[in-house]
Chains A and B, each alone.
Chain A
Amino acid sequence: MERKSLPFTIFIYAAALLLGLVILAPVIWLFIMSISPAADLSAKPLRWWPQQVDFSRYAMLLSTVENSAGAAFLASLYNSLRVAGMATIAAIALAIPAGWAVSRTPTVGWSLSVVIATYMLPPVALAVPLYMGLSYLGLLNNVFGLALVYLTILAPFTTWLMKSGFDAIPSEIEAAAIVDGASLFQTLRIITLPLAAPVVATSALFALLLAWDEFFYALLFTSDLRAKTLTVAIADLAGGRVSDYGLIATAGVLAALPPVLIGLVMQRALISGLTSGGVKG
């Protein structure tokens, strides 16, 4: 219905090409660095594509030989998985009952505003007492301590997502089940939770991504392989004495892989989650 002139079409394609290039170039360069021999990366003029593709750094970082770079990398990977997993499970467990309660009970709605407002707090406002508290409890440099601290970020966020999820499920369905003689907990378990399963999944994915990405608390509260997460390990590599830039790039690719895959596969759910707040506002 709308006729496009030729110059306009050319302009659109040129702009699309430029946008695609801007988005992809840095990511592709990260990958190329990870498979280029060190000599190519320090060559002048710089070689944009390796003479010989070299995947050895991936093998190196994923090796389990004791005291190797790989062992340290894998330990931080394992720590990141444990901290993100524990914090996500705990956040969802807290968010489901709280989100449902706020959704079905208008009189306590204000409490959610308070919880969400804490999401605006800069982490530096909590860092010093959290450090002292964890130190007192012996939970510094400990994955449980870090997971607990991550709840400051994950719990408000997941509660808010769960609440909007429950809002979309009509409470009449629950009322009908209760009239039929089901108890409240039976109703929630059999009727509401299955309907809310997609929201639970989206909230859990967001929580995992947030925890995987976290750096500030991990930097402050962990100091060695027992608890150091992937983000801290990569920052150490980037700021340390490592002279092989390809190795740093390889660690980056490996750390980015899980969230990027989740992002691409779960695209639709993530975007609707990301934009729902915006569109409703």
Chain B
Amino acid sequence: MSGSWMTTRAWLLMLPLLVVMVSVIGWPLVDTVRLSFTDAKLVGTEGNFVGLDNYAKMLSGSNFQRTLVTTTWFAVISVAAEMVLGVLAALLLNQQFRGRTLLRALMILPWALPTVVNATLWRLIYNPEYGALNAALTQIGLLDAYRSWLGEPNTALAALIVADCWKNFPLVALIALAALQAVPRDITAASMVDGAGPIARFRFVILPYLVGPLLVALVLRTIEAFKVFDIIWVMTRGGPANSTRTLSILVYQEAFSFQRAGSGASLALIVTLLVTVLAVAYAALVRKAAGSTS
């Protein structure tokens, strides 16, 4: 069979997928670019060409800058915590103890819980009057008076990060555990014979096996965290006083609450550009790490 017929056949088999992808992803993306240069409203007016006005307005606005900082904080802290907790949990689950199989099985729970249910659950836990967190902390004497965890600007973001970490660190743990199980036993045994302590063993024997998979997890989680919308919308809607407003929430408000499709589109593309930069930078990082370990 000739190569060109194979290629043609492959394109024919992919045609349905490509048609759908172009109509639900390709065209909307191109149209977002077009809209971003107009002052179009969500309904009604087509809008006029305004050049780069939307971009200039959005980038120089204090809303965008503050939101970018909030998003970065959310992504950096929650992903870092998820990585550390995930690796610690995986190291534990890789030990021999009774009940290990059950504990491993339980790790799937937070991951399987729908994001909106997780957000709702934590919203109830943080409830200022009847929440379990206030009750537990007061009953063991760590807290004098009930607090409004999601209602105060200085605790709301931290409360959100805890809820996000709880849902996502088990996934990192499962990925790290799979990598740990790929470490050959004779290598760890040999390193012990050679007198390597637990920390040296982790650093020089185990960590090289973890780096690749963890980098992939880091990439995906960072991109997800940067795009975060669901958990924040359900728990705080970006409040109080916009202290938990992330980029996706800001785009939603601009394009849908205020119906400013044009400037909303420009903001959405700025977010897309930031995510793309992250993805490309990380892809390079992953390739480099993969090259150095194999």
Contacts and interface: CB of A to CB of B under 8 A. Distances in A.
B109 interface: yes
A31 B111 CA distance: 17
Given A121-B275, A124-B248, A152 B24 contact: yes
A46 B143 CA distance: 14
Contact of B272 (A115, A125, A132, A238): A125
A272 B18 CA distance: 28
Given A19-B103, A129-B35, A271-B178, A111 B14 contact: yes
Given A33-B124, A255-B117, A107 B234 contact: no
A101 interface: yes
B223 to A, nearest CB: 6
Nearest to A277: B216
A197 interface: no
A7 interface: no
Contacts, number: 285
B20 interface: yes
B17 interface: yes
Interface string A216-234: 1001100000000011001
Interface string B9-47: 111011011101100110111011001000000110000
B29 A125 contact: yes
Contacts of B119: 235, 238
B217 interface: yes
Interface residues of B, number: 100
B24 A130 contact: yes
Contact of B108 (A13, A30, A267): A267
A125 B117 CA distance: 25
Interface string A76-104: 00000000000000100111011011101
A38 to B, nearest CB: 10
A12 B95 contact: yes
Given A108-B11, A213-B115, 10 more contacts: A29-B132, A44-B135, A46-B130, A105-B9, A124-B267, A132-B42, A238-B119, A245-B130, A255-B116, A275-B175
8 contacts: A9-B97, A22-B166, A24-B109, A94-B17, A97-B13, A108-B14, A133-B27, A275-B178
Interface of A: 1-2, 9, 12-13, 15-16, 19-20, 22-24, 26-27, 29-30, 33, 41-42, 44-46, 90, 93-95, 97-98, 100-102, 104-105, 107-108, 111, 115, 117-118, 120-133, 135, 148-149, 151-152, 155-156, 159, 209, 212-213, 215-216, 219-220, 230-231, 234-235, 237-239, 245, 248-249, 252, 255-256, 259-260, 262-264, 267, 270-272, 274-275, 277-279, 281
